[in-house]
């Protein structure tokens, strides 16, 4: 991956928008009410270096809304079954910290973040962990690594709406500023909807929304092919 110190990483460029995602895996005890599940913790950062719109300091509203969006995509699409992250029921599980950082914001950060997350998770190699029966301690074997089981491939497609007549896919920052609304559709491998995210903005008829969804389904196929091609081309270490 792009980040050598991370367990999995990916750098995505959608036009000028550049987003990097690093996945770090740590061990933790699972929570009491879901003893057989691990955790996936996404965090989207929009630092001041990516655009003049953002000031340095605590995460602003857009970063927090983007983090919530990515968390929803992970949850809705079941990209990874949290049960797969469990090593020993009730005792040990993996926590995947997914840090998504925008390096250059030229619009459509949500789509780029979702792609970066998907590609990074496909790139993750987790060391195998066994629990020593006698001591009860965990033993990590860094020489034997396994990839994550990715169950679904959600792809986000964003549209900028202009007065409910014009829809532009993958808007740039300038187009987003001038747009009267945005809508993001997340589809999965089976053509099902994982998310329709339309936070306000110009109203759309059901037919126009259907139009967006149809295009999103087509785009899903193209993006999945591209991600598969890139993952295959990575030479294993």
The residues binding other proteins (CB under 8 A) are 61-62, 64-65, 67-69, 71-72, 75-78, 164, 180-181, 183, 188, 191-206, 209-210, 213, 217
Q: How far is the CB of 154 from other proteins (least distance, A)?
A: 9
Task: Rank residues 8 and 220 by Cβ distance to other proteins and give the closer one.
Answer: 220
Q: How far is the CB of 189 from other proteins (least distance, A)?
A: 11
Q: Which residues of 62-92 are buried (b: 16+ CB within 10 A; e: fewer)?
A: bbeebbebbbebbebbebbebebbbbbeeeb
- Return the closest-CA partner of residue 162 out of 141, 134, 181, 184: 181
DSSP state of 191: S
Task: Rank residues 21 and 63 by Cβ distance to other proteins and give the closer one.
Answer: 63
Task: Rank residues 3 and 186 by Cβ distance to other proteins and give the closer one.
Answer: 186
Q: How far is the CB of 77 from other proteins (least distance, A)?
A: 6
* Unique residue bearing structure tokens 């950082």: 101
Q: How far is the CB of 198 from other proteins (least distance, A)?
A: 4
CB atoms within 10 A of CB 140: 11
d(CA 123, CA 218): 24
Q: How far is the CB of 110 from other proteins (least distance, A)?
A: 12
Task: Rank residues 72 and 104 by Cβ distance to other proteins and give the closer one.
Answer: 72
Instruction: Say if CB 81 and CB 148 are below 8 A apart.
Output: no
Task: Rank residues 79 and 93 by Cβ distance to other proteins and give the closer one.
Answer: 79
Q: How far is the CB of 229 from other proteins (least distance, A)?
A: 26
Task: Rank residues 16 and 214 by Cβ distance to other proteins and give the closer one.
Answer: 214
Torsion of CA 199, 202, 203, 204, to 10 degrees: -100
Backbone angles phi and psi of 135, in degrees to 5: -85, -20
């Amino acid at each position: 991956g792009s980040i050598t110190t991370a367990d999995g990483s990916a750098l995505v460029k959608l036009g000028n928008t550049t987003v990097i995602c690093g996945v770090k895996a740590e061990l933790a005890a699972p929570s009491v009410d879901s003893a057989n599940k691990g955790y996936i913790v996404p965090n989207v950062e929009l630092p001041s270096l990516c655009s003049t719109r953002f000031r340095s300091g605590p995460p602003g509203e857009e970063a927090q809304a983007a983090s919530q969006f990515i968390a929803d995509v992970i949850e809705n699409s079941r990209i990874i079954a949290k049960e797969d992250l469990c090593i020993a029921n009730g005792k040990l599980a993996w926590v995947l910290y997914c840090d998504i950082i925008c390096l250059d914001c030229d619009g459509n950060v949500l789509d780029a973040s979702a792609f970066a997350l998907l590609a990074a998770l496909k790139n993750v190699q987790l060391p195998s962990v066994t629990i020593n029966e006698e001591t009860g301690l965990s033993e990590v074997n860094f020489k034997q690594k396994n990839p994550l089981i990715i169950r679904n491939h959600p792809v986000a497609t964003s549209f900028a709406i202009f007065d409910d007549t014009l829809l532009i896919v993958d808007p740039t920052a300038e187009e987003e500023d001038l747009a009267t609304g945005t809508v993001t559709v997340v589809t999965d491998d089976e053509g099902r909807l994982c998310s329709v995210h339309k936070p306000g903005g110009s109203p759309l008829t059901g037919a126009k929304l259907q139009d967006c969804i149809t295009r999103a389904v087509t785009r899903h196929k193209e993006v999945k092919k591209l991600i598969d091609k890139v993952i295959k081309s990575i030479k294993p270490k």
